[in-house]
Amino acid sequence: MNKIILPKGYHKDNRYDKWGNIILPNGQRMKGELFYDESVQKVLSEVLYLFTDYVKYPRTKHFTWSESINKDDDVLYDLSVFEDKNVIVTEKMDGENATIYPNGYFHARSVTGNSHPSQSWLKNFVQGFCFDIPTGWRICGENLYARHSIKYNDLESYFQVFSIWNEHNECLKWEEMLEYCE
């Protein structure tokens, strides 16, 4: 075999098992789309202990008219998925993606990345509510504490939630997320 061909949404910088689970450099695995399928659970039963509960936030796709599309960016060419649907549009802010778990652990895009001094505010913030996050859930948002290229004034919080995921890796509906955040 000379060339590895991956399905859409999979990236050559990751290593995968045959069920689409990402294999991390330390041998742990991140749960892929098929992980919760009963037949996959049976096959993986001997190695379930290798799976981490931490999840890398999915890449955001660009529209074809986006002003800056790089070679490694994902582009959404077919917009029919949005037809006859209610669509919530949010503004991308200039911060750091962060995912928060019930045990108080949080990470930026990389599940195994190192922490940075600019994350100290978020570390303290998380300790005030992480125990209220249900087991298996995670809260994703933008950490705006550190200034990148834009300085924000008058924010209610330096952490802006944009999605909450349940124990089955299903994203809550926007209204449910807003209610949870209240």
Provide, rounded to the nearest whole percent, the portion of the chain with pLDDT above 90: 58
CATH fold of 62-181: D-amino Acid Aminotransferase; Chain A, domain 1 (3.30.470)
Largest distance between two CA atoms of the chain: 56
Q: Any residues with CB less than 8 A from the CB of 98 and at least 6 apart, and which?
A: 106, 107, 108, 119, 122, 140, 141, 142, 143, 159
User: pTM, whole model, 2 decimals?
Assistant: 0.83
38-43 average pLDDT score: 94
Say whether pLDDT at 1 is over 70: no
Supply angle C-alpha 144, 145, 147, rounded to 5.
80
169-181 average pLDDT score: 94
95-103 average pLDDT score: 94
Say whether pLDDT at 8 is over 80: no
Which residue, 112, 106, 109, 110, is CA-closest to 125?
106
Say whether 39 sits in a helix, a strand or coil: helix
Which residues of the chain are in CATH 3.30.470 domains? Answer: 62-181
- Phi, psi dihedrals of residue 56, rounded to the nearest 5°: -75, 130
Q: What does the pLDDT look like over 107-129, one tens digit per residue?
A: 987 787 767 778 889 999 999 99
Among 56-65, 119-128, 162-171, the range scoring the smallest mean pLDDT is 56-65
